[in-house]
Copies of this chain bind each other. A is one copy, B any other.
Amino acid sequence: MREKLFQYMAAYTNLTEAEQRSIIKALDVREIAKGTYLTRQGYTLDSTICYFILAGCVRQYHIDERGKEITTSFFTEDHVILLANFAKQDQTSKYSLTCMEDCILVVGDMESELDMYQQYSGLETMTRRMMENYYGQTRNELANFISSSPEERYKSITQSRPDLLTRVPQHQLASYLGITPESLSRIKKRMQHTTSI
């Protein structure tokens, strides 16, 4: 599974293969069981921790003021989660993170990565580029969400992330699209009619 990291890193780095190998060897790769929580809303968190998803699916959600559960992200293969972004001022977590499947994650500690950046000068460049990319992707995701209606969002996700349709329950997917499960049901029904003509 570590092998997957080579392909991924290749796009961002000019580190030598030897360097890549020793970096990857040093990484903390963990298998984490379905149902495990990486953090829970309201719990104090270690904001130096980050995750890179090699395999599996991690759901981000929270319970809002009215007691409703709202899913705001599905992190899957090649996605990165920075717990720093989950922290409120008091260092408790705004969101819960739960593994929807058995996952294989690289667990990173931003503090100890600083040592790695010292050892491998190209590594921080790689990380910077990756972050620039994640930033951009997320801005585009946001732009997409703003510009489209619930129905368009659903169509769009069937294109961009078709795996999600089978990997996660519909009511969580609905929530992630900003609508109720009932609305998603209706949208799918509407689409059956119009696409079969």
Contact = CB atoms under 8 A, between A and B. Distances in A.
Interface of A: 60, 62, 64, 70, 72-73, 82, 84-85, 94-95, 117, 124-125, 127-128, 131-132, 134-143, 145-147, 175-178
Given A84-B132, A85-B135, A146 B145 contact: yes
Interface of A, secondary structure class, is helix
Contacts of A95: 143
Nearest to A70: B147
A139 B85 contact: yes
A117 B60 CA distance: 35
B138 A142 contact: yes
B84 A136 contact: yes
Contacts of A175: 146
A145 B142 contact: yes
A197 to B, nearest CB: 20
Contact of A72 (B84, B124, B142): B142
Contacts of A146: 70, 72, 145, 175-178
A150 to B, nearest CB: 10
8 contacts: A70-B146, A72-B147, A85-B140, A94-B140, A124-B124, A124-B128, A131-B135, A145-B178
Nearest to A145: B145
A151 to B, nearest CB: 14
Contacts of A117: 125
Contacts of A128: 124, 127-128, 131
A175 B147 CA distance: 8
Contacts of A145: 142, 145-146, 178
A162 to B, nearest CB: 20
- Nearest 6 A/B pairs, CB to CB: A85-B136, A72-B143, A131-B131, A128-B128, A138-B138, A135-B135
Contacts of A141: 142
